[in-house]
Amino acid sequence: MSKSERSMCLSRPWRSIARRIVPWATLDTALSGDVLEIGGGGGAMAEALAASHPHVRLTMTDVDPVMVDVARRRLAHVPDVSLCPADVTALPYPDASFDTVTSFLMLHHVIDWEKAVAEVARVLRPGGVFVGYDLTATRIATVIHLADDSPYRLIRRGEFESQVATAGLGLVRMQYSAFGHVFRFVAAHQPSR
C-alpha cells in the first residue's frame, strides 16, 4: 500500500465514508454468521460492518501487518472480531470456513486477483456469498494509480464475471456504477453436485 493510500485509509473522512459505503457496496445483502473481510486495511470498513451487523462473527485480514495493528486498536471495542495478517491469494483458513466474504476496493491491488477470487470461493461455505465493490479498468483509474505509484492490476469489464464463474461462484447481482468506473457484486457459492 502506498503512503497516500495508507493516509486515506487512516483518515477521518474515510471512516465516515465507510459507514455509508457498506450498505451501498453490499447491495443491502444481509450478512450473518462468520464473515471475513479481505484486505481490510486500517479497519474502517470492518468497524462499519460490525456496527451495521452486530450479530456476525467478523474476521478481518490485510497483507500489511502494520495496518492489521492499526485495525486491532480501532476495533478493540468490537466483540466477536479477530484480525490476522494474511495474503488473500493464500488465506490461512480451512475450506468452507465463512458464510460471507467481503471485499471493499482492494482486489485491484492484488496482481493475481484471480487467485484471490479462487481463495474466496475455497473458504466460503456452500450457499455463502462474496460481496463488495472495486474499480473497473478505466483511464481515470489508471492515471490515479500511475500517479500513486502503488501496485495494481485493474479489472476490465467482463473479467470479474468470468473469474467468479471459473471459481465456482454464481453472480447474484452485478452493477456497474459511477459511469462505469466502479462495479458492485454479490456472488453465491454454488454447492457441489
Q: What is the pLDDT of residues 34-59, one digit of tens each?
A: 999 999 999 999 999 999 999 999 99
Split into its structural domains, the chain has a count of: 2
| Whether pLDDT at 16 is above 90 | no
| Whether pLDDT at 25 is above 70 | yes
| Whether pLDDT at 108 is above 70 | yes
In a domain, 12, yes or no: yes
Residue 176: give the domain boundaries.
132-146+156-185
- The answer to whether the beta carbons of residues 72 and 154 sit under 8 Å apart is no
In a domain, 173, yes or no: yes
- The neighbour count for residue 69, using CB atoms within 10 Å, is 15
| Whether pLDDT at 193 is above 60 | no
Here the contacts of 57-60 (C-beta below 8 Å, separation 24 or greater) are 57/33, 57/81, 58/82, 59/34, 59/35, 59/83, 59/84, 59/98, 60/36, 60/84
- The answer to whether the beta carbons of residues 23 and 52 sit under 8 Å apart is yes
Q: Is 21 exposed, middle or buried (0-12, 13-18, 19+ CB in 10 A)?
A: middle
**Lowest mean pLDDT across 9-23, 33-47, 70-84, 163-177:** 9-23
In a domain, 142, yes or no: yes
